[in-house]
Amino acid sequence: MLYDYKHIFDKKWKKVNRDLERTIKKIKSKKAGYNFGKNIYFSTKKYSNIFFNLSGFFFSRKFSLNLLFSFIFLTFFIVATFVLSSIVFSNSDRKNKNSCGSYIGRLKINQELKDNELNYGVGGPESYEVGKKDRLKFYFYEIQKGDSIYSISKKLGVTMDTIISLNRMIDAHNISEGKEILVPTLEGIIYTVKAGDTLEKIASNYRISVEDIKDANELEEEELYEGRILFLPNARLSETERQKALGYLFFKPLRGLYTSGFGIRKDPFTGERGYHTGIDIAKNYGAPVYAAKEGIVTFAGWNGGYGKCVVIKHQFGFETLYGHLSTINVSTGQKVKAGQFIGRVGDSGRSTGPHLHFEVRKFGTPINPLRIAGLGKSRGKWY
C-alpha cells in the first residue's frame, strides 16, 4: 500500500518516501522490536505491519525510523521558531520606543517606577522616595514638548552629565517630543572598565569612593573585568565629553608653534599697541589646515589683511576664521565636517611669514579660542 501513502504526502514528503524504501530493507534484517509509546509500535520479523496512530489517521506500513525522527525534528523546529519569534516581536516595541539609544550594558535595569506616571512624563523622582542608601534603580522618562536637557535635569533632580552619559547622547540638543530617555534614581555616569583598572583607580580618577561604586553596582573586587559597565554615583563627565555632547567641542585646525595670543599686543608692523582678534600658529608653508568644527562655509576668498581666507558658520552662533592661507580648498555655501581639509598654510595678506591666523567668534564678536573646549594650548610654545 505504498501508493496510498505517496498519494497523500507526495508533494511535501518526496525525500521521506525515498528514505522509506531504503530503510525498509534495512529494518527487515533486524530482529529487535521497538516500542515508542501507546500509539506507535514498530516490529520487524515478528510482525509484518507497523501501526502509527496520529489524530485519527491510521497507516499500516513497513515504516522507517527516519520518518519518525523527521516528524519529531519538524515538530521541534516549528515550536522553537514560534517561541523565538514571539520573543523578538515582544521586545521590538521597547526598542522602538527607546529611540534615544538608552542602554545600561550589563547593569540590571529596574523598572519599578515605570507604572508611577507623573503629569509631566513617565516616572520621576517624586514617584519613588530615594534614601541615602537606596539601591540604584532606573526608569524611563518621556520627553515633553519644550523640554531641553537642562530643563529635564532640573525636573528630575539629576545632572545633565547623568542624562547624557546613560543615554550615550552624541547631540544633547537633538531630542524629540515623545522619545524616552533612561534616568537613574541616583546621580552619576556610566563607565566601561578598561584593562588595568581597579576600583581604587576608577574612584580616584572620578573623585568618588570605592564603597559607593561597590554599593551602587552590588560589586565585589574580583567581579571587575575589562568591558564591564559600571554606574559611578556622583561622578561627572570630563569637560571634553560634556562639551562634545552639548555641541560646543572644537578641534584644532593646525598643530604648530604658538607665536601670538588673543587680545592686546604690540603690532608687528607699526610697533604700536593693538588688539589681536585671534591667535597665530606658525607652520611650514603649504601645511594642511582643517575645519575646527562642522558647519557651512560663508566666505572663501580674498579678504584684505587676512589675505586668502575661509569663514565657517557653526551652531549656537559660533564662527571660525582661517587667514593668510596659500590655497583654499572649499567654496562658499559648502558644508564641511569637523577635521575636513579646507586649505593650506601661507603668508597671504598682511603677514610676517607662513602661519595661520585663527579666530573664533560668538554672534559676531571675537573671543579667545584658548577658552573653547578642544582648542586649549599645549605646553610650552606649541599649540
Q: What is the SS3 string spanning 86-103?
A: HHHHHHHHHHHHCCCCCC
* Radius of gyration for the alpha carbons in the chain, expressed in angstroms and rounded: 36
Q: Half-sphere exposure (CA, 13 Å, Cβ side) for 286? A: 0
What class, spelled out in words, does domain 257-371 have in CATH? mainly beta
Percent of the chain with pLDDT over 70: 64
User: Can you tell me the distance from the alpha carbon of 234 to that of 249, in angstroms, rounded to the nearest whole number?
Assistant: 23
pLDDT at 38: 39
pLDDT at 87 over 60: no
**Stretch 86-107: mean pLDDT, rounded?**
40
**Highest-confidence segment of 232-241, 276-285, 370-379:** 276-285
Query: All 3 cell numbers of residue 291?
Result: 575645519
Domain boundaries, given as residue ranges, for the chain: 2-70, 112-245, 257-371
291 vs 319: CA distance, rounded Å: 11
**DSSP class of 112:** G
**For the chain, what is the mean pLDDT?**
76
Q: What's the gap between Cα 198 and its chain centre?
A: 25
**Among 103-107, 199-203, 299-303, which stretch is predicted with the lowest mean pLDDT?**
103-107
Taking only the tens place, the pLDDT of each residue in 4-38 is 434 444 444 455 455 555 655 554 454 444 433 33
pLDDT attached to residue 26: 52
Residue of 98, 113, 8, 102 whose CA lies nearest to 52 = 8
Please give the average per-residue pLDDT across 188-193, as a whole number: 94
User: Cα(227)–Cα(194) distance, rounded to whole angstroms?
Assistant: 6
Q: 127 or 316: which carries more pLDDT confidence?
A: 316
Label residue 292 exposed, middle or buried (CB < 10 Å: 0-12, 13-18, 19+).
Answer: buried
Query: What would the grid cell of residue 21 be?
Result: 524504501
Give the 3-state secondary structure percentages of the chain, helix then strand then coil, rounded to 5: 30, 25, 45
Class for the domain spanning 112-245: alpha beta
The residue count of the chain comes to 383
Evaluate whether 112-245 and 257-371 have a shared fold. Answer: no
pLDDT above 80 for 262: yes
* Predicted TM-score of the model (pTM): 0.55
Q: Is 180 exposed, middle or buried (0-12, 13-18, 19+ CB in 10 A)?
A: buried
How far out from the chain centre does Cα 201 lie? 25
Q: SS3 of 232, please?
A: strand
In 3D space, the residue among 111, 104, 139, 144 whose CA is nearest the CA of residue 125 turns out to be: 139
CA gap 197, 204 in Å, rounded: 11
